[in-house]
Amino acid sequence: MRAVKNSRPEFANLIFKTSERFSSIDDFLRNLGLGALAPLFKREDILYATLIDMDEEDLKDIGITEEKYCKAIIQATKGIPKEANMEQHRFNPIYDTSQDVSVEQLLQMHDVGHYWTLLQGAGVTTVEIFSAIDKSDLKEIGVAALGDRIRIMRAVQNSRR
């Protein structure tokens, strides 16, 4: 897959206030001068709320092959306060770990409940099995969109609490 190139050679806006919050991935990327990359994120259903869980390998997987773009995005995500991100978005819910929670419920809490049937078909039916999966397992099972894999991995992390 060919990476989208940015016409701006330098990243003048790479360093911005860490307290600054963006309402969308588009705003975040435009602030970095990388607005042309937004379609790659949209195609993979990656939201601003899931950026902090991405790494350079994830960026390359969606088609961002230029190392300077990957580094710029990763560096900028370090400035996103996790608390601010969670308060702005509901993708990291807290639940009472003293009560039993099913895999289906965990998926629903992270807005990826539509994957329950797919995981069930792959034999991921208990929280014990679910807590052992990783992003590559999800890709192999058939979760195509990286954004969904990231949200499912948040559910996996919650299952380990």
Domain map of the chain by residue range? Answer: 25-88, 103-159
pTM above 0.75, yes or no: no
Looking at domain 25-88, its CATH architecture is Orthogonal Bundle (1.10)
Q: Using CA atoms, how far apart are residues 12 and 76, in angstroms rounded to an integer?
A: 12
Cα-Cα-Cα-Cα torsion 35, 89, 62, 131, nearest 10 degrees, comes to 170
The residue ranking higher by pLDDT, 105 or 80, is: 105
Q: Using CA atoms, how far apart are residues 47 and 109, in angstroms rounded to an integer?
A: 16
CA 77-109-105 angle, 5° bins: 140
Q: Tell me if domain 25-88 and domain 103-159 are identical in fold.
A: yes
Q: In this predicted model, what pLDDT tens digit does every residue of 106-149 receive, in sequence order? A: 999 888 999 999 999 999 999 999 999 999 999 999 999 999 99
CATH 1.10.150.50 corresponds to the domain 103-159: yes
Residue that the structure tokens 């560096």 belong to: 75
The answer, yes or no, to whether residue 15 has pLDDT greater than 70, is no
